[in-house]
Amino acid sequence: MSDDEQAGGAADDAPEKPAGGRSSDADDKKADDKRSGDRKAGDRKAGDKKAGADKKQAKDGKRQARDDKSRDDEGEDDDEKSAEAEAEDEEDEREKERERAAGRFKAYTRDPLAEDQGEDGPTDLAAAARTRRATRLLFDVGRDLHRFDRSYFNNAHIGDINLRLGARRFGAGMRSGPVPEDELRRLRRAHVEPEGYVRLRTALRARRLLVLGAAPGTGRTSTALSLLDEVTTSAANGTGTGPDAEPPAGSRVLRVDPDGGVRQLAVSLDESRGGEGEEARAGVGYLLELSLTRPGALPPDEMDLDELAAALARCEAFAVIVVTVGSAANPLLAGRYGMICPPAPTEELLATRLRERLEEHAAGAGEDGTAPADLLARAERVADREEVRDAVGLKDLRPAEAEVFASLLAGHVLGDVSRDALLDGCRSLAAVQAQEWFAGVDRALTARPAETERGDRNPGRPGTATLFHPVAFRIALAVLGGASHSAVAAAAHLLTWELSVQSDPDSTPARPLFCDDPEADRALSRAELTEGRVEVDGHEVPARLIWYRGSALPSAVLTELWDRHFPVRAPVVRWLRQLADDPRDQVWMRAAVAAGELCVRDFDHGYTELIRPLAEATTNRRLIFAATTLDQAAGHASHRKAVHRLIGDWSKKGTPSQRWSAAWALGYGNAAATMDDTLDALARIGIRDEGELVTVASHNVVRLLVLPDAAEVLARMAEWTHHKREPYQDLGLAATVRLALTTVDELLMDPDSLGDDSDSPWADRGDWPVALALAAIRPELVEPMADLMWTALNTARSKDVAMDALEELLRSAVRKDGTEWTRPGLAELLPALATEEHDRRRLDWLLRRMMSDPEKPLPDADARELWWLAVAPEERARQDGPRQDRRRQEWPGPHRAHPDRPRQEWPRQDRPRRERTREEERHG
């Protein structure tokens, strides 16, 4: 650094830069800082005007003196006078250049998102960081998305256990006819009654007709068959209800072809009256499964149901109509015959299925003489293992899933299923559910519409939006799980539009505005709502959050979507690009993490369609989206080297936008092979084009300080500040100032380190400045941080923003309610930062400026406490007694504490930075 860049003494006031914070005190502090900053800005403008006037007056005075002198000494040499004027002009030019350098450096410490959100507006880096940490929990490396060696399962034969792992379509081949007695017998033995089962049975017996609504796969058909079996058995025998009642001769439960509908069943019942089949119809139960999701399908109205109920009463028969919950079925379920079928309890369902399997495959005793009860206890212990629960990844098991899981556990305890086979089979459950959700959704739409036979050239296909909305909601929930319900619903509607246009590009999709059913969306997507909070412009507000009921479902849905349904990639890519522009951090950051997981499945396609276009965008949010997507891909060993090479190329010869994205990806710590390579790449980016990207490069250098290699990062920052080239110096100085201005929760990478139950030392320091958190957690880093801050405070172009940053550190010692905040960190850092009289005088001046602040005065006691934190231990011990009795005007600043003591007797430490020669100071 040049001589005129080395500054000593107290710095002038400079605009405040508020530090981030996430507690309520930090939020209030931000508001106070903004008001104080506005006031200071006004004071500085007035001061600048006054200083400018004084400077002009001084120049005029000098000029007048020169003129007077020239009149007095008319014979003076003209060359000497011109040299004097030239020297003054050179001094003025140097002063202007110093002001311009300070202004440029102040821009280097701005928030990287300031361009997108306004220079003076709040930015949401901390909220984005928290969103990323929460989202990565849904895509934890090692779950089914990454450990599958294939994307789908068909079936598996393990020992004497045959597992059908393909998409299940029970009853698809039997549209009409009697239910086999064997199936009813097994149902009586193994059916688990859901909550409210007795109420359903009472309603069916009283009304003869029941419309049962539930999501597919929840056991609704089994419950309907069980209800019909019980009421028909008791009606035929005239006995009580229950599974112990004797069934009558012949099958009494029939399935009805759904194509005929409710009216045809009522007509057939009336036609049988008085004929030969009347006696056969008495006491029979009819099961009718209606599909209301097909385009053009209309639900029966209330009059149709009344007619059917009357016909059933005349024949003394019963009927259960099973429908899928949703907007189409709402009128049926809201009527007099409609009721919701709750799912069977998971634990009881699994225990029943497991007991049944063990009885089938180990009748009496196992091969080693183990009794079935012991085998059951052993299987339950296996099911409770953490690795097994994680592999299943579902909170609630549906009946078919319970059967598969029970078969796997039974085979494992019997010795037929290995541990790896058990875990693979457990992971298949979520994959099979995803296959069922997407299999043949648009099959009805791909058929040639009937209108084309009548010569209509563009008949359109009505109902596309209604058909695609459930799958769009599942995809949106997989991408945005944990966000607010409104955000997921809005994203689902955007995707519904994209899917509809992709399926039928010649028609404009229409969607009714008042057909949403949140309860149906939850049921059809196995989702749950929880009360939580989301961030809006840095402030938390209450919200209803929505999640999958199972950690394995998000990955399973994205895997199924990307690997088995290629035509859907185009609309999903367009949709993700729209989410990248969403201003809410809970949306765009979650979408970026999910996009990274999709790129892992097919990196070539993901890079071409998502990463590269977004990395060449003009908005910083899109550039961060691309960087986060790359970092998520780099978290997988299979793609890590490819991402390293890509980021290295961007840092060397990429466009400015690509270098910006590369810098942000490097800040995550996974985009280069070593920390040394990471810092080299950030330095290349930061110094290129006269420091055009110093802002983003310095920010991401600080992000690396929360990693274990923080000492290496600080050492490299020191090398940069001592470099002979100014761009390197600016990079090191900007990173140093950011070290004091940035809070931990904007940077932290570990998703578990800020949890309430985390043992990490960072856990309760989310709103601490990084410098003070590091000082408290890793005291060995105090000296290098203090040296860096000393350099920033004593360099002309950085001293103003560095002084403001130091003020923010001092004000964070205690919270507004008086409780301790960052005081332990200050107790470590301040003594290392104020070891000489020069440094203490600056601290004394800053504390007095803070005390005299008219809007936010620092209390006398707090200022005194901060001073005593900074003095050396022996100095604190010397003055520990009388300091409590001194009045404010006697507060012991360094120039007043010992007026009779020589300067050289101040306690000091031998530090390399103080031993640098003047020539070394000149060159940094």
Q: How confident is the model at residue 347 (pLDDT cuts 50, 70, 90)?
A: confident
Which pair of structure tokens corresponds to residue 603? 């990196």
Quick count: other Cβ atoms within 10 Å of Cβ 377? Answer: 12
Residue 16 CA to residue 807 CA, distance in Å, equals 9
Average pLDDT, the chain: 77
Q: Is the pLDDT of residue 251 over 50?
A: yes
Q: Which residue has the higher pLDDT, 162 or 859?
A: 859
Dump pLDDT digits (tens) for 413-445: 988 899 999 999 999 999 999 999 998 787 766
SS3 for 591? helix
Quick count: other Cβ atoms within 10 Å of Cβ 662? Answer: 33
Q: Is the pLDDT of residue 380 over 80?
A: yes
Range 266-282 average pLDDT = 66
Q: Which residue has the higher pLDDT, 583 or 63?
A: 583
Dump pLDDT digits (tens) for 788-847: 999 999 998 889 999 999 999 999 999 888 888 999 999 999 999 988 889 999 999 999
Cα–Cα distances in Å, from 75 out to 64, 83, 195, 806, 905? 18, 16, 114, 55, 54
Dump pLDDT digits (tens) for 661-695: 999 999 999 999 999 999 999 999 999 988 889 99
Among 13-27, 396-410, 543-557, 614-628, which stretch is predicted with the lowest mean pLDDT? 13-27
Query: Which is nearest to 677 in space by CA: 711, 716, 706, 708?
Result: 716
Q: Is the pLDDT of residue 867 over 80?
A: yes
Q: Is the pLDDT of residue 877 over 90?
A: no
pLDDT at 581: 93
pLDDT at 273: 62
Q: Which residues face 210 on adjacent strands?
A: 320
Which pair of structure tokens corresponds to residue 727? 């761009």
Q: Where are the alpha helices (DSSP H) in 481-584?
A: 485-503, 518-525, 553-564, 569-580
Phi, psi torsion values for 319, nearest 5 degrees: -150, 140
Q: Is the pLDDT of residue 386 over 60?
A: yes
Would you say 295 and 310 are in contact if contact means Cβ atoms under 8 Å apart?
A: no
Q: What CA dihedral angle connects 773, 776, 781 and 785, to 10 degrees?
A: 60
Range 700-721 average pLDDT = 94
Residue 36 CA to residue 40 CA, distance in Å, equals 6
Q: How confident is the model at residue 720 (pLDDT cuts 50, 70, 90)?
A: very high
Q: Which residue has the higher pLDDT, 229 or 110?
A: 229
Give the β-pairing of 338-340 and 253-255.
Answer: unpaired
Dump pLDDT digits (tens) for 354-363: 888 887 765 5
pLDDT at 134: 60
Q: Is the pLDDT of residue 240 over 90?
A: no
SS3 for 546? strand
Range 582-603 average pLDDT = 92
Dump pLDDT digits (tens) for 744-788: 888 766 544 444 445 677 778 888 999 999 999 999 999 999 999
Which pair of structure tokens corresponds to residue 175? 């549209």
Q: Which DSSP string corresponds to 720-765? A: HHT-SSHHHHHHHHHHHHHHHH-BGGGT---TTTTSTT---TTTT-
Q: Is the pLDDT of residue 459 over 50?
A: no
Give the β-pairing of 285-289 and 318-324.
Answer: parallel
Residue 419 CA to residue 212 CA, distance in Å, equals 40
Among 5-19, 77-91, 167-181, 645-659, which stretch is predicted with the lowest mean pLDDT? 5-19
pLDDT at 290: 86
Instruction: Please give the helix or strand (H or E) that residue 287 lies within, else none.
Output: strand 285-289
Give the β-pairing of 318-324 and 338-340.
Answer: unpaired
SS3 for 878? helix
User: How many residues belong to the chain?
Assistant: 924
Instruction: Please give the helix or strand (H or E) that residue 528 lies within, else none.
Output: strand 527-536
pLDDT at 20: 37
- The position carrying tokens 């410098």 is 771
Give the β-pairing of 209-214 and 338-340.
Answer: parallel
pLDDT at 237: 62
Which pair of structure tokens corresponds to residue 33? 């800082």
Dump pLDDT digits (tens) for 883-923: 334 333 344 544 433 334 333 333 333 444 434 433 344 44
Range 847-862 average pLDDT = 92
Residue 145 CA to residue 868 CA, distance in Å, equals 56
Distance of CA 598 to the CA centre of its chain: 16
Burial 439-451 (b: 16+ CB within 10 A, else e): eebbebbeeeeee
Range 125-134 average pLDDT = 61
Which are the contacts of 656, defined by CB distance < 8 A and separation ≥ 6?
A: 689, 692, 693
Would you say 438 and 561 are in contact if contact means Cβ atoms under 8 Å apart?
A: yes
pLDDT at 95: 67
pLDDT at 752: 47
Q: Is the pLDDT of residue 255 over 50?
A: yes
* Percentage of residues in the chain having pLDDT higher than 90: 41
Which pair of structure tokens corresponds to residue 420? 């790896």
pLDDT at 452: 41
Q: Which residue has the higher pLDDT, 456 or 536?
A: 536
- The position carrying tokens 């996009």 is 595
Would you say 781 and 710 are in contact if contact means Cβ atoms under 8 Å apart?
A: yes
Q: Which residue has the higher pLDDT, 297 or 750?
A: 297
Cα–Cα distances in Å, from 441 out to 96, 431, 464, 472, 533? 69, 17, 10, 11, 35
Distance of CA 713 to the CA centre of its chain: 27
Which pair of structure tokens corresponds to residue 287? 């099961």
Q: How open is the CA angle 856-860-864, to the nearest 5 degrees?
A: 120
Instruction: Please give the helix or strand (H or E) that residue 609 lies within, else none.
Output: none
pTM to 2 decimal places: 0.77
Residue 478 CA to residue 731 CA, distance in Å, equals 40
Amino acid identity for residue 456 in this structure: D
Q: How confident is the model at residue 97 (pLDDT cuts 50, 70, 90)?
A: low
Dump pLDDT digits (tens) for 147-194: 333 444 444 444 444 444 443 443 343 457 888 888 888 888 888 888
Residue 388 CA to residue 80 CA, distance in Å, equals 92
DSSP class of 3: G
Quick count: other Cβ atoms within 10 Å of Cβ 542? Answer: 9
